[in-house]
A and B are shown apart, each in its own frame.
Chain A
């Protein structure tokens, strides 16, 4: 048992390490650039009606009205995106601090490893050129806010508007990140009784219905007035893009409802080969994950408890449709990583005994059995940053090689 002073010192040491690692990743991967598919999305806004992915653009136009400087240009997008991403990373640090301060001394080190693992993926990905300014990072921000509410068990009804806002940022939220709220609410439903349970059932039910309705609306009914607003959106996207460039595929898809599925098919097949390579390279972490859930289910004493923990991998399956219908496997891999990391960390902060003890036992077991277990933390460096269509550089190079030598998909 650590004294208060020693505990604070240990937490400070960890936060300093986290900061230094994230700073090194920032220096390495930040490229002061926002790609055209991320500038184009800022041209979608609600002055054209309730269109899909319109929230960020609306907020951006509002910011332009409020600020004394003109940010309706590429330079403005780059600056605002940088500031926003940095704020979101700061919120991640705060979340890390909350989690470690809620964690018991015995488990502190192993929980810190999980936070480092997630932070390395997070910072490297959202500062790098391909993903800087992607809507996903803003969805992550709102998810972090939701996690604070869940951990502190205050104003949890706000999860409903948070989920709705996330859906308005990008309807893909339903598959990518909603599972984090969904699981944690389901966990609370199973963990409580009486009025409390009813409250969580209500929050879960309403948020689920809201995001489902919004998803269906944005995907199938929001393109009706597309042709009328097309030119205006292109004009705004041209203003925001680097040297006037914009991403026409995105506008065609979101505004006119033209699905690029056919053009994306070869890349999609390529993605599956890449995902196979990624899975093999990630085997150490996959094996650890599978073992962890096996141990957790084994440790759960009652049937209800078993269901509670079995829901963790089951809720992760919401990401599956993204793998099947869309390219951008790098983002789906991040969604999976974020789901498992954040759910486990939230449960630790909620003082779930089984999760905390099993995670600790597994990591101690691995460290005792494999003397080189610490290398797993270094190994992540080869996996980052996650890209978009490609998963990461290593899998890209390997798949390119396989494709050029054997498959000839692209």
Chain B
């Protein structure tokens, strides 16, 4: 049984809630439509918080993968791919069943079909190449690691400016974050001051970056700023884009703070955290179901504030409920079959590895 740290699991739950909320608001245009109380609430909730959550997930995965010093084994990758493949077929079947095969009216093909699955692709790739990165990280002389991280930071920062989201730039983002985590945890900076005042520094950095993103986003949207809507939207689009450097700082600071927090074990947190991957992979499907019934639809920005908050909460509850149902069905019906197949493949792998 995998040992889980409750504080990190709690962080994952909070993060997934913010990520799916952010997608709800992006796909319904709440961030980009004209100023309303709802658009400001959504910015408050998400502008400085949601993208850092992406980095919290990458940071968490990186942290545990960096600690894995053993040889590469395909089990983890195969288990992940089996889950992703199954949920993908389920998601596509539901969305196609509800909206048909070529639906542009509801932006289904634009948002819900591809949506946030870039993360799954990049994570699967990371599970393949992380041993190479670990080799680089665990070199006695970290100069090459620093050089690679510095070189990647140039591309990463450039991507933050252009905000051109694609697979190559996602790969750069993943590798860069992984290497940064490697620098921080395997070759930590030897500054006494940093160690002595670690917590206040992390909190300070996180708050500074978070408030910077939040205030600037909200300000550009306020009518008193006098900034044109298109210009404001372009700015917000950069801030809530994947390659935002302050978001990375917030994400990694939050990860470290929660990692150090010795939280008592909570069964509720642990069982909810098991659902996070299902929630992440299926939240667009849940949104599709809401959309089909014309709920949480793109009038979201214009409904009364209480209704807005109610439907946002309902959406989160819906995502978790659907995820719990699918999780139950998957572990009951399909997981044993997949495990059998994966077990066979892994046995083959072990046999062949030992005979090679």
Contacts and interface: CB of A to CB of B under 8 A. Distances in A.
Interface of A: 24, 27-28, 30-33, 129, 367-372, 374-375, 378, 393-394, 397-398, 400-401, 404
Among B77, B101, B349, B351, the one with the most A-chain Cβ atoms within 10 Å of its Cβ is: B101
Contact of A27 (B92, B100, B166): B92
Would you list the 4 A-B pairs with minimal beta carbon distance, nearest first? Answer: A32-B101, A32-B102, A371-B352, A371-B353
Given A27-B92, A374-B345, A394 B167 contact: yes
Interface SS of A by simple majority: helix
B88 A28 contact: yes
Contacts of A375: 74, 77
B281 to A, nearest CB: 14
A27 B352 contact: no
B89 A374 contact: no
B326 to A, nearest CB: 16
A343 B351 CA distance: 33
B102 A372 contact: no
Nearest to B89: A24
A369 B166 contact: no
11 contacts: A24-B85, A27-B92, A31-B101, A32-B102, A370-B356, A371-B350, A372-B349, A374-B348, A394-B167, A397-B168, A401-B166
Nearest to B344: A374
A372 B353 CA distance: 9
A221 B74 CA distance: 58
Contact of B168 (A24, A378, A398): A398
B306 interface: no
Contacts of A400: 166
Interface string B78-100: 00010001001100110010001
Contacts of B355: 368
A33 B103 CA distance: 10
- The size class of the interface chain B forms with chain A is 20 to 34
A212 to B, nearest CB: 40
Contacts of A394: 167
A154 to B, nearest CB: 39
Given A31-B101, A32-B100, A369 B92 contact: no
Given A24-B85, A27-B96, A368 B168 contact: no
Given A31-B109, A378-B81, A371 B100 contact: no
B356 A371 contact: yes
Given A27-B89, A31-B109, A397-B168, A371 B349 contact: yes
B169 A401 contact: yes
Contacts of B356: 368-371
Contacts of A369: 352, 356
Contact of A401 (B88, B168, B345, B348): B168
Contacts of B353: 371
Nearest to A24: B89
Contacts of A393: 167
A397 B352 contact: no
A33 B89 contact: no
Contacts of B101: 30-33
A367 B102 CA distance: 41
Contacts of A401: 166, 168-169
Interface of B: 74, 77, 81, 85, 88-89, 92-93, 96, 100-102, 109, 164, 166-169, 345, 348-353, 355-356
Contact of B352 (A32, A129, A367, A398): A367
Contacts of A398: 167-168
Contacts of B89: 24, 27-28
A28 B168 CA distance: 22
Contacts of B100: 32
A401 B169 CA distance: 9
Contacts of B77: 375
A371 B350 CA distance: 7
A9 B258 CA distance: 53
B108 to A, nearest CB: 11
A370 B350 CA distance: 11
A368 B348 CA distance: 9
Contacts of B167: 393-394, 397-398
A27 B74 contact: no
A401 B167 CA distance: 10
B80 to A, nearest CB: 11
Contacts of A33: 101-102
B92 A28 contact: yes
A15 B167 CA distance: 34
Among A27, A30, A378, the one with the most B-chain Cβ atoms within 10 Å of its Cβ is: A27
A404 B161 CA distance: 14
B52 to A, nearest CB: 25
A378 B124 CA distance: 11
Nearest to A375: B74
Contacts of B88: 24, 28
Contact of B102 (A31, A368, A378): A31
Given A367-B352, A370-B352, 18 more contacts: A24-B88, A24-B89, A27-B96, A28-B92, A31-B109, A32-B101, A32-B102, A33-B101, A368-B355, A369-B352, A370-B356, A371-B351, A371-B356, A372-B74, A374-B348, A375-B74, A397-B166, A397-B168
A27 B102 contact: no
Nearest to A382: B121
A397 B159 CA distance: 14
Nearest to B355: A368
A240 B270 CA distance: 57
A150 to B, nearest CB: 35
Contacts of A371: 348-353, 356
A394 B89 CA distance: 21
B144 to A, nearest CB: 23
A105 to B, nearest CB: 19
A370 B169 CA distance: 30
B158 to A, nearest CB: 9
Nearest to B113: A28
Contacts of B348: 367, 371, 374
Nearest to B351: A371
Contacts of A374: 74, 345, 348-349
Contacts of A370: 352, 356
B218 to A, nearest CB: 32
